[in-house]
Amino acid sequence: MTPPLGVGMIGYAFMGAAHSQAWRSAAHVFDLPLAPDMAVLCGRDPAAARAAAARLGWRSVETDWKQLLTRDDVALVDVCTPGDTHAEIAIAALDAGKHVLCEKPLANSVDEARAMVAAAERARARGARSMVGFNYRRVPAIALARRLVEQGRIGPVRHVRAVYLQDWIVDPEFPLVWRLQRDKAGSGALGDIGAHIVDLAQYVVGDRLTGVSALTETFVKERPLATASGGLSGAGGAQRGPVTVDDAALFLGRFAGGAVASFEATRFATGRKNGLRLEVNGGSGSLAFDFEAMNELWFHDGTEAPDTAGFRRIHVTEPTHPYMEAWWPPGHGLGYEHTFVHEMADLVRDLAAGTDPTPSFADGLQVQLVLDAVERSAAGGSCWETIEGDAS
Ligand SMILES: NC(=O)c1ccc[n+]([C@@H]2O[C@H](COP(=O)([O-])OP(=O)(O)OC[C@H]3O[C@@H](n4cnc5c(N)ncnc54)[C@H](O)[C@@H]3O)[C@@H](O)[C@H]2O)c1
């Protein structure tokens, strides 16, 4: 009989639903050494939390996350709340001896992220592990891109071009939901979606950014106060309040190994819904990925004869591709939700083996240092800001 891994999840909206789906399926798709036990869901409204638990498959409910941390049937705490709560919950959970999976961005500030890394190190010495939820690393095409870069298939990396394009707030009457408030979200498009492409770029290239020059813009400075809101939707009232985060962030960066990079994160790319694109150009080849066609990776092998060389589309559904052996016959693609299934499967295996899951809280801090440098650069007229070397 496979031993259980008791999970307690805090927050049950967008990410709560995605994580629940993954906790429900991970052990049914992958052969895992621990069986996730969806022990408890935590939400502040008792009736709504009970309804969510029933819908999403959790067997009990708590209304105070501190109470969840005292439960013996919870070995891992899954943090699916907005950024202003991550540090407090994750540190308390680690200090209570629980493993922690924390959604991205790791924190709302570098100081919070440092405190979380310190807590993770304390906890690690006692056998509790931690991971930050940069799920796009677990798109098979992205994992394949990383493998090809590692294998030297594109040679030394020269350029990284990353964009993350959304359009859900182009309407100036869209309400002031938590993602548009600095005290809740830390930053705007930068921390929400820019964090993903910073993590992906560093992951695929296997290198870290050492400096940036940035600009940010808030196109709509005031919005209706939210009367009812979810993370990415809501309704507004008659009163208005200030938008305190960026709507768009653009920056140039340098990698330690010499590559140069450009990044663009915006919620004002009208018509673009979840346009996460990454292109990497190396000395002998290139790779290109677009999340809106997430089962595909484009590869140009510059060592081929020029008369037939060109970008070719790899349909990343072969059993030899990352994660795909556990899924469907070749050609039967995956979707967004499967990235979370992979995340949970990898995490469970690491917990059983006593190995460190990735991305670690230190990786999350490294991303936070980049976000912080972007904000300092933008505030300083796009001046060059260096990013310190050792994120731990
Ligand atoms: N990995 C990804 O692709 C991805 C996508 C979306 C969001 N996120 C991240 O996930 C986190 C949550 O975002 P979301 O989109 O799910 O937000 P959301 O607004 O949809 O859900 C937030 C949930 O947290 C709950 N909550 C807030 N404060 C709480 C508290 N003190 N105690 C208990 N519950 C509390 C809310 O009631 C709600 O259930 C954020 O950090 C966000 O950046 C990651």
Nearest CA to ligand 1 atom 23: 11
Nearest CA to ligand 1 atom 7: 15
Q: What is the pTM of this model?
A: 0.97
Contacts of 239 by beta carbon, 8 Å cutoff, 6+ apart:
224, 225
Q: Using CA atoms, how far apart are residues 242 and 249, in angstroms rounded to an integer?
A: 18
Please work out whether the CB of residue 12 comes within 6 Å of at least one atom of ligand 1.
Answer: yes
Cβ neighbours of 320 (radius 10 Å): 9
Picking from 233, 265, 271, 262, the residue whose alpha carbon sits closest to that of residue 246 is 265
**Ligand 1: distance of its center to the CA of 11 in Å?**
6
**Ligand 1: distance of its center to the CA of 186 in Å?**
13
For residue 253, give both structure tokens. 């960066």
Query: 26: phi > 0 → left, psi -120 to 50 → alpha, else beta; which?
Result: alpha
pLDDT number for residue 228: 76
Please work out whether the CB of residue 133 comes within 6 Å of at least one atom of ligand 1.
Answer: yes
Q: Name the 3-class secondary structure at 356.
A: coil
Q: Using CA atoms, how far apart are residues 104 and 82, in angstroms rounded to an integer?
A: 9
As averages over each run of 10 residues, the pLDDT of the chain (392 residues) reads 97 98 98 98 98 98 98 98 98 98 98 98 97 98 98 98 98 96 98 98 98 98 87 83 98 98 98 98 98 98 96 98 98 98 98 98 98 98 90 50
Q: Which ligand 1 atom sits closest to the C-alpha of 44? A: 33
Q: Name the 3-class secondary structure at 306.
A: coil
Show the domains of the chain with their CATH numbers: 4-135 (3.40.50.720), 139-358+367-385 (3.30.360.10)
**Ligand 1: distance of its center to the CA of 14 in Å?**
7
Nearest CA to ligand 1 atom 25: 11
**Ligand 1: distance of its center to the CA of 317 in Å?**
31
The CA radius of gyration of the chain, in Å to the nearest whole number, is 21
In the block, residue with structure tokens 């653009």 = 250
